[in-house]
Amino acid sequence: MSEAEAAARAAGLRETINRHAHLYYVLDRPEIDDAVYDALYRELQTLEQEYPELRTPDSPTQRVGAAPLEGFTQVRHLEPMLSLANARGEDELLAWDQRNRRLLEARELDDVPLRYVVEPKIDGLAISLTYRDGVFSVGATRGDGEVGEEVTANLRTIGSVPLRLLTSDPPPVVEVRGEVYLPLAAFARLNEQRVADGLPAFVNPRNSAAGSIRQLDPRLAAARPLDVWCYAVGYSEGLDLPDHHSALEWLRAAGFRVNPQIVTVDGIEQAAAACRAWEERRGDLDYDIDGAVVKVDSFVLQRALGSVAHDPRWAIAFKFAPTTVTTRLHSIEVNVGRTGVLTPFAVLEPAFVGGVTVERATLHNEDDIRRKDIRPGDDVILQRAGDVIPQVVGPVTTGETNDADGQLVGREERHVALPEWTMPRVCPACGSETVRETGEVAVRCPNRSCPAQLVESIKHFVSKGAMDIEGIGEETVVLLHEQGLIGNVADLYGLEREHFVRLEAGKVVALPGFGGKMRKGEDGALELVEAKRADKVLAAIEASRERPFANVLFALGVRHVGSVTAQALVEQYPSMDLLLAAGAADLAEVPGVGPVVAEAVEQFLGDEHNRETIEKLRAAGVRLVEETPARREGSLTGSTLVLTGKLPTLTRGQAQVLIEAAGGKVTSSVSRATDYVVAGEDAGSKLDKANALGVTVIDEAGLRSLVAGPEGQEGQLRLT
Ligand code: IVH
C-alpha cells in the first residue's frame, strides 16, 4: 500500500468508525456487530502504527490512552457559560412568564409568538466542547463561567462526544454546551466495585462524574462510563439559527446526543405541564435530574430579554422537590432494640427532602458510620427518594459552611476538626457494659432486664403478625412498664381492669390516657360503669390467647427468627414441648433454618428467664401447640406433598391452596412419608432427595390432575 493509499484508507476508516460510534453511543441503534467494529478499529490502529502521521485528532483511536497531565490548563470560553435562576413551584414559573411578557411588550416585541422549550435539568457537570472546522479541539469545564479547565482528553473518552461533526459544511467555530453525567446503573456498579476494592464509595452520581472529568490521567476517566446530554450552542461563527429548538435540531444532525424528550410548547401553561411530566418520569430515568429548564425559544426574544448578572432572563430552572439535601448532623444517638442491639441514629437539623421533613435517620451500625466517615457536627447529604427510609449518604467536605461560632470555614477543615464518633461503651438505657462479638457488626447490651430491651420486646410481642394485640402501642407499653405492671411479655396476661382504672376513696383513678365513669348503685355504693379503653385493651389481650403457635413463637422475639422461620419451625416441631426437646443439630435440619438460627433458638429456649416466661404463657392459656386445621375431604385426603422449584403458572401459595382444598397436606421437607414431590423449574435438593427415596415426582399438570381427582372436577376453586 502506498502512503497515499494508506492515508485514504485511514480517512475512510475514521469516517466509518465515527459513524458507527454515533449509531451506537448517540442513537443507541448499532448497525454492525461489536466484532466487526473491533476489526475496523484494529485495522486503523495498525495503519496508524505504520504511518504515525495519520494519527489525526478526530481518529477514534485517540479517544483513549493519552498520557497523564501534570495539571489542568485554563481556557477562556468564547462566550460565557451562564447559570440559571430558579423557580420554586408553579407560581414562580407563572410570574417569570408575566415578567417576560411585560419586558417584551415594553420592547414592542409582543407580536412575536412566545414559545418555550422544556428540557430536563441534568444533575451533572456543565461542559463546553469547541469544534474548529468540524473537529473537536477543546473541551472544558464551566469553571467560573468565564474561564474553565481544559479537559479535552477526558471528554474524548466519552463515546457519544463526536470527534468530528457529522455535517458536510461544518461552521469554522462552534461551542457546544452540555452536561456530563454518570448513568445511575453505571454509578451503582462503580460503587460496588470501589467498595469491593476497599475504596470509599462515591456520595452521588454527580460527584463521581465531576471527579472523573477532573482526573489528570485520561485512562482513569476512560474507565468511568460517563455520558453527555447536549443542550445548547454557545459561541459560533457561520451558523445562522433562528431559535433554540432549531439549535437542538442542528446539534442532533451534527452527531450530538440531545435528549429526545425535550418539547417545544406554546405558552406557560403547557410549559408548566411539561415540567410536571418531567417530575413524574424522574424516577424512571437512568440519570439524575433536579428540575426542568424552561427556555424562550426565539433567539430574537432571548436577545431582547438579555441577562442579569450571570442569569439569562430568558431561561429558568423549575426545581423539583429535592430527594437529597444538605443538612447539619447535630448528634448521633443510640437506640436499644429488643435483642439488645445498639443502633445508632442521626439527629439532624430538620430538612425537607422527598416531600417530608426529616429530623432522624438510622445510621445502621458503627462500621457503616466509620466507612462513610460521618462525624457529629458535619454537614451531611440526606437522601430520601420515593418511600424509601431516609439515608445519611455521607459528609459534605467541599464548599463553605458556618462553624459553631457562625464563622465561614471550609467544610473539609470543619470535618477534620470534628472528633470521630464511637459507639458508647455502656448501654444508654441501663448502663451495662456493651459487648461486640467477634465477627459481628452489632454491639449489644448483655443485660436481659435492660428496660429498653423489655419495652422493645413487649412492643414486638403485641405487634401485627405477632400476637396482634390492638390498642397497645409504644406509649402504653412504656407506661405499663414504668408503673411496674409488666416486666415481661407474660405479665400482659395478668393485667386486670383495676390496673388501668379503679375507684379509690370515691374517685376514679386511672392511668394517663385511660378513664372511666362511676355511678351510685342501687345499694348506694359507687361502682365503675364504663372503662372503654381499658376494656378494649383487655379484650384484645384475651383474644390473643387464640393466636396460632407460629405467631407465639415469632412474638417471643428469638434472634433471627422472623415469621417465616417461625412457621418453618412449627411445621416440623408443632409444639413448644417438641421444640424444647430438640437440640440445635435437629433444628438445623429444618428447611430454611441454618445452624445460626438453630443455635439462636437453642440458646433462647435454654435460658432460664425465657423458660419462666414460656411457662407463664402456658399457664395463661396462650397456645403452645399447633392446632391442626380440620382437613377437608378430597382427592388428596391423607396425602403429604412437598413443593419445590418454580411452577409454570401457580405460585407456591396458590399450589398450597389447591392441595389443601383437596384435603392434602403440604410440608417443607422430603421424607419417606412424602407421597408426592411437585417439582418446577430450578428444583434443587428436594428433587434429588425425592429421587433418592423413590418418592413420586410430578409437575404442575400432574398436580392439577391429582387435585381434579378421578371425576375430573376442580370443584369451586378457580385460581386464574
Ligand atoms: S442551560 C442559559 N440547560 O444547570 C443557561 N443548563 O444552573 C445555561 N444544566 O450550569 C444553562 N441541564 O450545568 C441548561 N438543559 C439544561 C441543563 C442545564 C443542566 C445545568 C448546567 C448549568 C446549570 C445552571
Instruction: Encode 479-532 in three state secondary structure.
Output: HHHHCCCCCCHHHHHHCCHHHHEEEECCEEEECCCCCCEEEECCCCCEEEEECH
Upper half-sphere CA count for residue 167 (Cβ side, 13 Å): 18
Other beta carbons within 10 Å of 511: 17
The pLDDT of residue 447 is 92
DSSP tag of 25: I
Which ligand 1 atom is nearest residue 315's CA? 2
Nearest alpha-carbon partner for 175 in 217, 88, 237: 237
Write 482-486 long-range contacts (CB < 8 A, 24+). Answer: 483/511, 486/458
Upper half-sphere CA count for residue 1 (Cβ side, 13 Å): 12
What's the average model confidence in pLDDT over 423-450?
91
288 ligand 1 Cβ < 6 A? no
Beta bridge partners of residue 680, listed in sequence order: none
Query: Is residue 623 within 8 Å of 549, Cβ to Cβ?
Result: yes
83 ligand 1 Cβ < 6 A? yes
Per CATH, is 85-319 categorized as 3.30.470.30?
yes
The pLDDT of residue 385 is 65
**For residue 336, how far is the Cα from the chain centroid?**
25
What's the average model confidence in pLDDT over 537-546?
95
List active site positions.
Answer: 121
Report the separation in Å between the CA atom of 4 and the middle of ligand 1, taken as the mean of its atom positions: 45
How big, in percent rounded to 5, are the helix, strand and coil portions of the chain?
Answer: 35, 25, 40
Nearest alpha-carbon partner for 156 in 228, 87, 84: 228
Query: DSSP 3-state assignment of 239?
Result: coil
Report the separation in Å between the CA atom of 301 and the middle of ligand 1, taken as the mean of its atom positions: 19
For domain 549-619, the CATH superfamily is 5' to 3' exonuclease, C-terminal subdomain (1.10.150.20)
Ligand 1: residue whose CA is nearest its atom 13: 126
> In this predicted model, what pLDDT tens digit does every residue of 112-147 receive, in sequence order?
889 999 999 999 999 999 999 999 999 999 999 999
Fold match between 451-544 and 549-619? yes
The arrangement of secondary structure in 329-417, i.e. its CATH architecture, is: Beta Barrel (2.40)
Pick the more confident residue, 582 or 668.
582
Unique residue bearing C-alpha cell 462515591:
202
Q: Give the CATH number of domain 3-62.
A: 1.10.287.610
126 ligand 1 Cβ < 6 A? yes
394 ligand 1 Cβ < 6 A? no
Ligand 1: residue whose CA is nearest its atom 16: 121
Report the separation in Å between the CA atom of 416 and the middle of ligand 1, taken as the mean of its atom positions: 33
Report the separation in Å between the CA atom of 328 and the middle of ligand 1, taken as the mean of its atom positions: 28
Q: Residues for the chain: how many in total?
A: 720
Q: Does residue 714 register a pLDDT over 50?
A: no
Residue spans per domain, the chain: 3-62, 85-319, 329-417, 451-544, 549-619, 640-708
Q: Does residue 449 register a pLDDT over 90?
A: no
Tell me how far apart the alpha carbons of residues 707 and 704 are, in angstroms, rounded to a whole number: 5
> In this predicted model, what pLDDT tens digit does every residue of 322-361 receive, in sequence order?
788 899 999 999 999 988 999 999 999 999 887 788 999 9
The pLDDT of residue 719 is 38
The pLDDT of residue 571 is 87
Unique residue bearing C-alpha cell 411585560:
102
The pLDDT of residue 710 is 67
pLDDT category at 534 given cuts 50, 70, 90 is: very high
Ligand 1: residue whose CA is nearest its atom 21: 126
Q: Does residue 255 register a pLDDT over 70?
A: yes
Query: DSSP 3-state assignment of 365?
Result: coil
Q: Does residue 630 register a pLDDT over 70?
A: no
231 ligand 1 Cβ < 6 A? yes
**Burial (CB count <10 Å: 0-12, 13-18, 19+), residue 64:** middle
Which ligand 1 atom is nearest residue 81's CA? 8
Tell me how far apart the alpha carbons of residues 580 and 392 are, in angstroms, rounded to a whole number: 43
179 ligand 1 Cβ < 6 A? yes
Report the separation in Å between the CA atom of 126 and the middle of ligand 1, taken as the mean of its atom positions: 7
The pLDDT of residue 484 is 92
Please give the model's pTM, rounded to 2 decimal places. Answer: 0.56
The pLDDT of residue 564 is 86
Tell me how far apart the alpha carbons of residues 224 and 228 are, in angstroms, rounded to a whole number: 13
Report the separation in Å between the CA atom of 19 and the middle of ligand 1, taken as the mean of its atom positions: 28
CATH of 451-544, one of 1.10.3720.10, 1.10.150.20, 3.40.50.360, 1.10.20.10: 1.10.150.20
Tell me how far apart the alpha carbons of residues 480 and 487 are, in angstroms, rounded to a whole number: 9
Ligand 1: which of 293, 311, 314 to mutate, most ligand atoms within 8 Å of CB?
293
The pLDDT of residue 353 is 86
Report the separation in Å between the CA atom of 292 and the middle of ligand 1, taken as the mean of its atom positions: 9
DSSP tag of 166: S
What angle is formed at CA 229 by the lines to CA 223 and CA 235, rounded to 5 degrees?
A: 115
Which ligand 1 atom is nearest residue 311's CA? 5
294 ligand 1 Cβ < 6 A? no
Report the separation in Å between the CA atom of 169 and the middle of ligand 1, taken as the mean of its atom positions: 28
Grid cell at residue 408: 465561614
Q: Kindly state the greatest CA–CA separation across the chain.
A: 126
Grid cell at residue 134: 468540524
Q: For the chain, what is the total number of helices (H) and then of strands (E)?
A: 25, 30
What's the average model confidence in pLDDT over 56-64?
92
Grid cell at residue 164: 468530528
Q: What is the mean pLDDT of the chain?
A: 90
Unique residue bearing C-alpha cell 443439630:
585
Ligand 1: which of 231, 251, 258, 305 to mutate, most ligand atoms within 8 Å of CB?
231
Pick the more confident residue, 428 or 191.
428
Ligand 1: residue whose CA is nearest its atom 23: 83
Ligand 1: which of 77, 84, 119 to mutate, most ligand atoms within 8 Å of CB?
84
Amino acid at 146: E
119 ligand 1 Cβ < 6 A? yes
Ligand 1: residue whose CA is nearest its atom 12: 121
Report the separation in Å between the CA atom of 267 and the middle of ligand 1, taken as the mean of its atom positions: 21
Which ligand 1 atom is nearest residue 314's CA? 2
The pLDDT of residue 707 is 86
Q: Does residue 50 register a pLDDT over 90?
A: yes
What angle is formed at CA 639 by the lines to CA 635 and CA 645, rounded to 5 degrees?
A: 100
Q: Does residue 715 register a pLDDT over 60?
A: no
> In this predicted model, what pLDDT tens digit does every residue of 72-111 receive, in sequence order?
999 999 999 999 999 988 999 999 999 999 999 999 998 8
pLDDT category at 631 given cuts 50, 70, 90 is: low
The pLDDT of residue 312 is 95
Torsion of the alpha carbons at 176, 182, 183 and 186, rounded to the nearest 10:
140
The pLDDT of residue 387 is 57
Query: Is residue 60 within 8 Å of 17, Cβ to Cβ?
Result: yes
Tell me how far apart the alpha carbons of residues 367 and 360 are, in angstroms, rounded to a whole number: 19
Class of domain 640-708 as given by CATH: alpha beta
Tell me how far apart the alpha carbons of residues 180 and 183 are, in angstroms, rounded to a whole number: 10
381 ligand 1 Cβ < 6 A? no
Tell me how far apart the alpha carbons of residues 470 and 463 are, in angstroms, rounded to a whole number: 8
Express as a percent the part of the chain with pLDDT over 70.
97
Nearest alpha-carbon partner for 552 in 480, 463, 641: 463
